[in-house]
């Protein structure tokens, strides 16, 4: 449960998750497009108009209202970027953006919605999305899309529907995926984020230890770090295992995974075909026992509940930390991308150590070298990280029931689904921002100069729409695939089949990959990703989450005995957990019979 509560946080992560677009766009300089980049000059380059009638008479542009979250590591601005300008001009639309601090965007949205006046489109994580649908707050797009967005509609295939359809109806929009480089396709073969664990390689070597494979070895290594202080930082400072924000920041998920559970995650019990929560699974008690033991042995950061990410990161950088887990964003340079920094500075070492590097140039701390760990296995051979933790790669753009500018939004989506729209959105203007080659697809155009793709895209505000609208619609790798230049130039087909997804039907929404990489499918949040909704979920989630967080925090820190977990289970069930189990199971059965 508690997906709602989590979804605020997960949304933060998902801002990075909606592909590199969000990332790049997040850093995009939109302030002042240089004169020669004025949208007007681009019109002659845009030639084909498959569905959208040419912008003929001077008519007032249609307004698209969209609510965006302002998240850490991502700056969205009101100003119209170069690319946005081109699209607006092309379609005779204009954007009106409401920008909301990311961590409280749901509150703001709910206030506007409760006022019955929300007419901004917005993005929602899947649990949130289904909750809104079941409350009747979103516009049903099923009948509108074929008529108003004929280019887009074919992409809403069975795979996509698996994620965004509710009782067979579609209420959300998924945006086109973002290429990462010139000559590289949108990535379907890699998740945009997952959890990874890194351990101090230099400490391991100093103590002559091997990277731990199972959860007991993990404990022993952490204990050795604490007892022997290989870094010489002092007993008071050394933190073998660091974490922040309690459990919801995924820093301790390796421990849950080892005991066959995940925090805040629903699963399908195959045996009795019931949808249940890992929060009250017996394995949760075992995981908490391990954490309690580790905490008592000073292996877990004593501040792990109260501190926030910056404190944690500073501890890591100070060389106090032995092992940590965090989200890994292959391309995100926004906040929290600690691994990215470490990789850039070549501190993640596979071979043996080199002298001379420093973690951050402005400290006098000794360099720290790290190695990635496989998630430790538990007594039953379980291991892994959460597959989705309440978010997934799917982040539908939603149009509220009262919205006034539905046609304009659909027009935009339809355009983005055309080849012209896709190229304009992702590469800019042909022969200026990019040139099209036979064999390598789009390549840097004259305006790009020496800059690399990412930098250039930042400058022109590429992919501001819609992926760069943080959280507004997630990416859909399928978009580019049908074009000749895309499939011939890239090996996406292979990448797709590798994970057992049929190539032609490019339904790989990113969750697939996340589940298959380090996460185990069993840890993918079942309810969210099966599109299951429970009528009471919205009303119970925050409360159940608070109860769970309280018990778990107190158990791990030793304020509660482990046996209190049984009390928690009873309370969880009585407070509405059982209701949710029943409702989700009902929903699942209903879905099966569909």
Residues 162-201 that bind another protein (CB under 8 A): none
Task: Tell me whether residue 228 is exposed, middle or buried, using C-beta atoms within 10 angstroms of its C-beta: 0 to 12, 13 to 18, 19 or more.
Answer: middle
Task: Tell me whether residue 270 is exposed, middle or buried, using C-beta atoms within 10 angstroms of its C-beta: 0 to 12, 13 to 18, 19 or more.
Answer: exposed
Q: Which C-beta is closer to another protein: that of 174 or that of 537?
A: 537
145 contacts 153 by C-beta, under 8 angstroms: yes
Q: Which of 3, 10, 11, 12 binds another protein (CB under 8 A)?
A: 12
458 contacts 28 by C-beta, under 8 angstroms: yes
Q: Does 348 bind another protein (CB under 8 A)?
A: no
Q: Which C-beta is closer to another protein: that of 497 or that of 539?
A: 539
Q: Which of 117, 143, 566, 567 binds another protein (CB under 8 A)?
A: 117
Q: Does 204 bind another protein (CB under 8 A)?
A: no
Q: Which CA distances in Å does 586 have to 130, 532, 533?
A: 15, 9, 9
The dihedral region occupied by 212, where left means phi > 0, alpha psi between -120 and 50, and beta the remainder, is beta
Taking the complex as a whole, how short is the minimal distance between the CB of residue 18 and another protein, in angstroms?
17
Q: Which of residues 432-461 bind another protein (CB under 8 A)?
A: 455, 458-459
Q: Which of 216, 309, 343, 407 binds another protein (CB under 8 A)?
A: 309
Q: Which C-beta is closer to another protein: that of 307 or that of 418?
A: 307
Backbone φ and ψ of 330, nearest 5°: -55, -35
Taking the complex as a whole, how short is the minimal distance between the CB of residue 165 and another protein, in angstroms?
22
How far apart are the C-alpha atoms of 429 and 420, rounded to whole Å?
10
Taking the complex as a whole, how short is the minimal distance between the CB of residue 316 and another protein, in angstroms?
11
Q: Which of 364, 439, 450, 563 binds another protein (CB under 8 A)?
A: 364
β-bridge mates for residue 197, sequence order: 325, 373
Residues in the chain: 594
Q: Which of 101, 146, 154, 446 binds another protein (CB under 8 A)?
A: 101
75 contacts 27 by C-beta, under 8 angstroms: yes
Q: Does 70 bind another protein (CB under 8 A)?
A: yes
Binding mask of the shown chain, residues 122 to 161, with x at each position contacting another protein by CB under 8 A: -------------xxx------------------------
Specify the 3-state DSSP secondary structure of 434: strand
How far apart are the C-alpha atoms of 199 and 581, rounded to whole Å?
38
Q: Does 356 bind another protein (CB under 8 A)?
A: no
Q: Which of 365, 517, 579, 582 binds another protein (CB under 8 A)?
A: 365
How far apart are the C-alpha atoms of 564 and 254, rounded to whole Å?
23
β-bridge mates for residue 436, sequence order: 442
Q: Which C-beta is closer to another protein: that of 70 or that of 517?
A: 70
Q: Which of 303, 357, 419, 493 binds another protein (CB under 8 A)?
A: 303
**In this chain, which stretch among 21-29, 477-485, 490-498, 561-569 interacts with another protein, using CB under 8 A?**
21-29
Q: Which C-beta is closer to another protein: that of 49 or that of 553?
A: 553
Q: Which of 38, 41, 116, 296 binds another protein (CB under 8 A)?
A: 116
Q: Which of residues 470-489 bind another protein (CB under 8 A)?
A: none
534 contacts 580 by C-beta, under 8 angstroms: yes
List b or e across 392-427, with b for residues whose CB sees 16 or more CB atoms inside 10 angstroms: bbbbbbbbbbebebbebbbbbbbbbbbbbbbbbbbb
Q: Which CA distances in Å does 537 have to 132, 284, 583?
A: 11, 21, 9
Taking the complex as a whole, how short is the minimal distance between the CB of residue 291 and another protein, in angstroms?
14
The DSSP element (H or E) to which 97 belongs, if any, is strand 93-101
How far apart are the C-alpha atoms of 88 and 81, rounded to whole Å?
10
Taking the complex as a whole, how short is the minimal distance between the CB of residue 15 and another protein, in angstroms?
11
**In this chain, which stretch among 96-104, 199-207, 376-384, 409-417 interacts with another protein, using CB under 8 A?**
96-104
Q: Which C-beta is closer to another protein: that of 193 or that of 487?
A: 193
Taking the complex as a whole, how short is the minimal distance between the CB of residue 322 and another protein, in angstroms?
17
Taking the complex as a whole, how short is the minimal distance between the CB of residue 320 and another protein, in angstroms?
9
* Cα–Cα nearest to 188, from 424, 475, 440: 475
Q: Which C-beta is closer to another protein: that of 498 or that of 554?
A: 554
How far apart are the C-alpha atoms of 93 and 85, rounded to whole Å?
9
Taking the complex as a whole, how short is the minimal distance between the CB of residue 299 and another protein, in angstroms?
16
Tell me the site size for another protein, rule CB under 8 A: 85
Q: Which CA distances in Å does 158 have to 140, 439, 505, 506?
A: 17, 31, 9, 10
* Cα–Cα nearest to 398, from 194, 123, 59: 123
Q: Which C-beta is closer to another protein: that of 486 or that of 552?
A: 552
Q: Does 361 bind another protein (CB under 8 A)?
A: yes
- Say if strands 169-170 and 441-444 run parallel, antiparallel, or are unpaired: unpaired
Q: Which of 228, 298, 318, 517 binds another protein (CB under 8 A)?
A: 318
Taking the complex as a whole, how short is the minimal distance between the CB of residue 491 and another protein, in angstroms?
30
Q: Which of residues 221-280 bind another protein (CB under 8 A)?
A: 236-237, 246
How far apart are the C-alpha atoms of 368 and 522, rounded to whole Å?
34
**In this chain, which stretch among 25-33, 176-184, 465-473, 511-519 interacts with another protein, using CB under 8 A?**
25-33
Specify the 3-state DSSP secondary structure of 417: coil
Q: Which of residues 523-582 bind another protein (CB under 8 A)?
A: 538-543, 546, 549-550, 552-554, 557, 559, 575
For residue 68 the two structure tokens come to 């965006």
Backbone φ and ψ of 71, nearest 5°: -115, 160
Q: Which of 34, 41, 43, 107 binds another protein (CB under 8 A)?
A: 107
């Amino acid at each position: 449960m508690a997906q709602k509560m989590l979804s605020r946080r997960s949304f933060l992560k998902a801002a990075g998750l909606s592909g590199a677009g969000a990332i790049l766009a997040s850093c995009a300089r939109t302030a002042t497009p240089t004169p020669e980049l004025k949208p007007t000059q681009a019109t002659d380059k845009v030639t084909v108009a498959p569905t959208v009638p040419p912008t003929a008479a001077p008519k007032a542009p249609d307004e698209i209202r969209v609510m965006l979250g302002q998240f850490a590591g991502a700056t969205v601005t009101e100003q119209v970027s170069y690319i946005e300008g081109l699209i607006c001009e092309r379609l005779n639309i204009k954007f009106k953006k409401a920008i909301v601090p990311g961590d409280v965007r749901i509150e703001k949205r709910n206030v506007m919605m409760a006022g019955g006046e929300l007419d901004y489109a917005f993005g929602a994580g899947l649990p949130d999305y289904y909750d809104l649908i079941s409350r009747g707050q979103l516009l049903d797009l099923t009948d509108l899309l074929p008529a108003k967005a004929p280019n887009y509609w074919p992409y809403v295939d069975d795979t996509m529907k698996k994620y965004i359809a509710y009782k067979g109806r579609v209420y959300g929009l998924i945006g086109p995926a973002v290429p990462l480089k010139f000559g590289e396709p949108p990535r379907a073969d890699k998740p945009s984020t997952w959890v990874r664990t890194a351990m101090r390689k230099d400490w391991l070597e100093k103590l002559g230890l091997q990277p731990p494979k199972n959860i007991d070895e993990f404990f022993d290594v952490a204990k050795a770090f604490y007892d022997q202080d290989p870094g010489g930082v002092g007993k008071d400072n050394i933190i073998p295992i660091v974490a922040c924000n309690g459990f919801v920041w995924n820093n301790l998920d390796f421990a849950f995974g080892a005991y066959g559970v995940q925090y805040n995650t629903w699963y399908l019990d195959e045996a009795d075909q019931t949808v249940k929560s890992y929060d009250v699974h017996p394995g949760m008690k075992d995981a908490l026992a391990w954490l309690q033991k580790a905490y008592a042995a000073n292996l877990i950061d004593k501040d792990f509940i109260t501190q926030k990410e910056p404190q944690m990161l500073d501890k890591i950088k100070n060389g106090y930390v032995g092992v940590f887990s965090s989200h890994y964003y292959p391309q995100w340079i926004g906040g929290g991308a600690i691994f990215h920094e470490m990789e850039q500075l070549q501190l993640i070492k596979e071979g043996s150590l080199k002298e001379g590097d420093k973690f951050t140039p402005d400290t006098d701390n000794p360099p720290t070298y790290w190695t990635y760990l496989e998630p430790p296995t538990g007594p039953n051979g379980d291991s892994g990280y959460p597959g989705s933790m309440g978010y997934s790669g799917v982040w539908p753009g939603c149009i509220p029931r009262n919205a006034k500018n539905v046609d304009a939004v659909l027009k935009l989506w339809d355009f983005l689904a055309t080849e012209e729209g896709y190229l304009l959105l992702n590469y800019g203007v042909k022969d200026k921002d990019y040139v099209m080659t036979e064999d390598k697809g789009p390549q840097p155009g004259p305006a790009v100069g020496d800059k690399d793709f990412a930098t250039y895209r930042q400058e022109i505000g590429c992919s501001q729409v819609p992926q760069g609208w943080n959280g507004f619609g997630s990416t859909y790798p399928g978009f580019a695939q049908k074009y000749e230049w895309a499939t011939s130039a890239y090996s996406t087909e292979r990448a797709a089949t590798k994970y057992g997804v049929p190539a032609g039907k490019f339904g790989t929404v990113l969750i697939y990959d996340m589940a298959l990489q380090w996460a185990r499918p069993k840890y993918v949040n079942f309810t969210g990703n099966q599109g299951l909704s429970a009528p009471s979920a919205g009303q119970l989630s925050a409360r159940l989450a608070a109860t769970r967080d309280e018990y778990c925090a107190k158990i791990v820190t030793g304020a509660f005995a482990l046996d209190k977990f049984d009390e928690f289970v009873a309370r969880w069930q009585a407070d509405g957990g059982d209701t949710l189990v029943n409702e989700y199971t009902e929903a699942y059965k209903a879905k099966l019979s569909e």
